[in-house]
Structure 1
Amino acid sequence: MAYNFISCSDGSFLPRQDLRGWLPPQHLCWQVLKVVGELDLSEFLRSYRADGQGAAAYPPQVLLALVLYCYCKGVRSSRRIEAACLDDVGCRIITGNQHIDHATVARFLRRHRDGMKALFVQVLALCAQRGLVDLAAVAVDGSPMQAAAARSTNRSLHALETMIADGEAEVDQLMGDMDAPAAAEDSTWHTAAGSCLRRLSRLGDRLARARMARDKLHERVLPSAGEIRIKVEAAERMVARAVQRLADVTAAQQQRLADYARRSLQDQAAGRRRATGRPPVAIEAKTKVVRQQARLARAQAGLHHALNPRPIPSAAARASLTDPASRLMLGKHGGYVQGYNVQIACSRNQILLAIELHDNPSDTTALVPVIRRAQHNCATAGLTADVEAWLADSGYASTANFTALADLPLLVSLTKEYDQTRATTPRSQDVPAGHRDMAARLASTEGKQLYARRGALVEPGFAQLFQRFGRRLHHRGTSDVDAEIKLLGIVHNLNKIFRHDARPKAA
């Protein structure tokens, strides 16, 4: 059996079968089709039935080529892609003159989120095969992108709790109204019941979004995995010390009781009475033992809290009702935007080695995940060479990052950008202890020369992304937005491939 795909064969609508005369060989349409033919789409095909049963679907390679072609031209809206299938010759060639509607395009992107993420590494491998990836230096940077949500939809924890309580009370009231008995022929009751059902549907959607926003506020105040591990290790050490101290004082008191019992037996054998003095108190009544038991209980409670942190969001914390995963963060050109922090790792010629979402307006905790993801992508794409220098600006400077990446040739600015190339260096006593090794590395001639490449590597990468796609995201939720930015990264790297393939080859 075979897949039940709609036929999108070339040329069914043309006066002749050969389509190559409609567009020149160097046109973007043919470049996209060629690259899609080099990709492994097994991840996409896995979600289709291979027994030929079910309704016919468009082939995933056709939809993927259509999406990549339109994105390369800056067309990202599914409705505009639908319109392009009518008036863009490249789209008509890709689809075989099929009019693909916007809902099909939107469902394809949502259905194949994981496939799009895996496709990023395949395109990076194609860049590597063409010799476009240079790992002499890799720069990491982040920039906000505006979410598909307005700032006015942000609510505090108190407002969300009030909204949830009021909504639940209204749902109970509506359910009670619908349960009221009525005659079957009473048209007024049926009209009111229909209105209640519509209201219940809207309330259910609003309650679901309010609960998601409330949960997101609690999730954001949770410490990171590294912070939890550090706190758990410290709490375990305190518990171990408390256990040891309790064992020591208990053993000492047991020894006193045993000594007293031995002396009492000796006195009785010798015919002496009360010569051994006042007997020691019982173990459970000994002050030191009780104090150490209380200390152990506090240490165990601290360990429980470290293992199960439940901090309370501050009164200033806000979450969006429209897209709870988005954050209020400083805009690139001033002010605040409701958006996502997008992180990229760029090599020479702005080839993206990684493009990731970071759930924090601050870049500090993004450095380790982005570098590890870039390393994973390079290894998967067959790039075995070591990166000679990882470069990042002062927004990533922290002792935790320097410790976690101590095995890498890392250069992270500790001051403003222009200060790194100056001849003068800060005094060692002005630099925190955890930053002194990095300061010495940056102060060397080689360190200054390497760090001077940071801006030229990564800043044009963001400029090219935003020039083609703008700063606004179209999807909502972490998973959908992550797949969306992966698609932007795929198209960005594909354009590097297209320009490389279009260059005249040396004789």
Structure 2
Amino acid sequence: MSNFRSFDRHTAYLLPPSVDDWLPQDHLARFIVEVVDGLDLRSMVNAYGGRGSAAYHPSLLLSLLIYGYATGVFSSRRIERATYDSVAFRFISAGAHPDHYTLATFRRRFLGELADLFVQVLEVAQEMKLVKLGTISLDGTKVQANASRHSALSHGHIEKMEAQLQGEVQELLALAEQADQSNVPDGISLPEEIQRREDRLKAMAEAKTKIEARAKARFEREQAQYQAKLAAREEKQKKNGRKPGGRPPKPPTAGPKAKDQLNLTDEESRIMPVAGGGFEQSYNAQAAVDADSMLVMAPAVTQACNDKEQVEPMLAQLAALPESLGKADTLLADTGYFSAKNVAACEKAGIDPHIAVKRENHHQPPLARFAEPMPITEGSTPVERMVHKLQTQAGRTAYALCKQTVEPVFGIIKSVLGFRQFSLRGLDKVSGEWALVCLAWNLKRMAVLRPKSAQWA
């Protein structure tokens, strides 16, 4: 007698099976469908002209994309394949199988609408009593662009390659003009070789023009900052009656630098240093995360390697959120965001900033972590006030939340879901895709927090 359970793969069902019966009631796919079906998708629906064959409804395609990004399936081809292989994807698509071209086109077409949908999902979270703006953690992470750094050309390298290619073109032209071409190797086509080099020279000339335009814009920006610093020093000298200390600001240099680069695959991406050392063709993805719920309240993408200029744009995004979500009262950020200007911007917005001034040493003496600093004097600078705040027990406790909120969000998105590279190219499209990633994270997180909400249950 066998001790194994019997099984039969060949006997047909007496009645057609229901995918709905195969998916648990608390499954993430059900939650995403329920939330998406409640969103206002009129802008997407009205975009369809009604011509040709019947289209898939935006709610179906959007649910497939969100569930795909929430479970680490980012490729439209893999999502299409999953509608055959996965019970959850079959449930979302209601047994239909949108092809990868339809999914990819839908994603590109409606990236602009994701900002509004992102806010709508936050309002759903507020209705579920899962989020209320208060303490916000801000950080950035480098995400690789859909381009290789080996496709980048620097201004200095272009100048060297131009001279080399022009010399090769002249050499090939001289060979082509010879009546006796016995020196030409068999199989080589001189016109094709000349055309190939001329095409490369044309591409290099276009890249060089764009690099020079970037350099001009950078010089104008740096020149304005230089003039502002000079004016501030002069004002300080008039006020104090003595020459300001420190070195005077250094004037910017016009023109492109030899290391200024342009990527031929994705021109708007930049070479950036990445964690663990080295450089990659990347974008700097930003996220403002609610400290209590770990929901992303505002996503953004920038081409800047550092985070210094990202505080004010993020404050503007937080201020634009609906009043029903509340108002942020505290901002936590690491030393990459610190500047006197950013501190002043937070205070002007009515937000208490906790931004590290410098990196602290690990393994401090036991008593040092519990000691309170001396009271701060009147008329102190923003830097002095921030240093004092982060030395207090309350300041240290508040700042410690930073590593417990936004960094785990990035860790899960990149290491658990596997989102380490954008699928799209260009700053606008990449920004839309990052909003989709954060939207998927928020719904995934809301599904986990859902049991705490008696109203939603």
Shorter-chain TM-score category? 0.7 to 0.9
8 Å CA contact 1:128, 1:381 repeated in 2? no
Residue number among 328, 333, 345 corresponding to 2:271 in the alignment: 328
For 1:504 and 1:130, how far apart are their aligned partners in 2?
Answer: 6
Aligned residue type for 2:31:
Q
- State the Cα deviation string for residues 60-94 of structure 1 (Å, max 9, x = none): 11111111122221100111112112212222233
Report sequence identity in percent: 30
Aligned position for 2:423: 474
Given the superposition, is the C-alpha separation of residues 204 and 389 from structure 1 closer, same or farther in structure 2, using an over 3 Å criterion?
same
Give the drift of 1:480: 1.0
Q: Which residue number in structure 2 is paired with residue 247 of structure 1?
A: none
1:352 corresponds to 2:296: yes
**Alpha-carbon distance in 1 for matches of 2:257, 2:108:** 35
Mark the structure with the bigger radius of gyration.
Answer: 1
- My pick for the range that moved more, 156-165 or 32-41, is 156-165
Instruction: Report if the CA contact (8 A) 1:391-1:454 is conserved.
Output: yes
Is the Cα contact below 8 Å between 2:112 and 2:432 reproduced in 1? yes
Distance 1:202 1:498 in 2: 52
Q: Distance in 1 between matches of 2:193 and 2:106?
A: 34
- Given that 2:143 and 2:283 are in contact with CA atoms closer than 8 Å, whether structure 1 keeps it comes out as yes
In 2, Cα distance between equivalents of 1:102 and 1:169: 46
Q: Which runs of 5+ in 2 are unaligned?
A: 1-13, 169-189, 236-250
Q: Structure 1 85/233 Cα, relative in aligned 2: closer, same or farther at 3 Å?
A: farther
Give the secondary-structure state (helix, strand or coil) at the position aligned to 1:105. Answer: helix
1:17/1:334 CA distance change after superposition, 3 Å: same
TM-fit CA distance, 1:397? 1.3
Q: Which amino acid aligns with 2:270?
A: R
Pairwise CA RMSD of aligned residues? Answer: 4.0
Instruction: Quote the offset at 1:146 in angstroms.
Output: 1.3
Secondary structure class of the residue paired with 1:439: helix
Which of 142, 148, 151 in structure 2 is aligned with 1:150? Answer: 148
User: Structure 1 residues 46 and 435, CA, compared in 2 at 3 Å: closer, same or farther?
Assistant: same
What is the rounded CA distance, in whole Å, between the counterparts of 2:137 and 2:278 in structure 1?
Answer: 26
Q: Deviations over 1:388-433 (max 9, x none)?
A: 311111111112212333322111111224579563769999xx94
Q: Which amino acid aligns with 1:37?
A: D
Conserved? CA contact 2:318–2:328, under 8 Å: no
Q: Give the conservation status (yes or no) of the 8 Å contact 1:327–1:339.
A: yes
Q: Structure 1 residue 313: deviation in Å? A: 2.4
Q: CA offsets, 1:127-168, max 9 Å, x none?
A: 121122243311111121111222222222244467799999
| Bigger shift: residues 213-222 or 448-457 | 213-222
Gaps of 5+ in 1: 1-13, 171-191, 238-305
Whole-angstrom distance in 2 between the partners of 1:461 and 1:339: 19
Indicate the structure with greater helix content: 1
Aligned to 2:172: none
Scaled by the length of structure 1, what TM-score is found?
A: 0.67
Partner of 2:322: 380
> Structure 1 stretch 110-119 or stretch 200-209: which is displaced more?
200-209
CA distance in structure 1 between the aligned counterparts of 2:223 and 2:434, rounded to whole angstroms: 25
* Contact map agreement 1:212 1:324 (CA 8 A) in 2: no
Q: 1:73 aligns with which of 71, 74, 79?
A: 71
Preserved CA contact (<8 Å) 1:167 1:207? no
Corresponding residue number in structure 1 for 2:399: 451
For this pair of structures, how many residues does the alignment match?
A: 396
**TM-score, with normalisation over the residues of structure 2?**
0.74
The one-letter code of the counterpart of 1:24 is P
Q: Which segment drifts farther, 414-423 or 69-78?
A: 414-423
Is 1:393 paired with 2:334? Answer: yes
- Classify 1:394/1:65 alpha carbon distance in 2 versus 1 (closer, same or farther; 3 Å): same
2:221 alignment partner, SS class: coil
Deviations 1:154-204 (A, max 9, x none): 22224446779999999xxxxxxxxxxxxxxxxxxxxx9999999999998
Distance in 2 (CA, whole Å) between partners of 1:327 and 1:233 is 32
Judge conservation of contact 1:216–1:325 (CA < 8 Å) in 2: no
Q: Is the 8 A contact 1:160 1:214 kept in 2?
A: no
Structure 1 residues 150 and 423 mapped into 2: Cα distance closer, same or farther (>3 Å)? farther
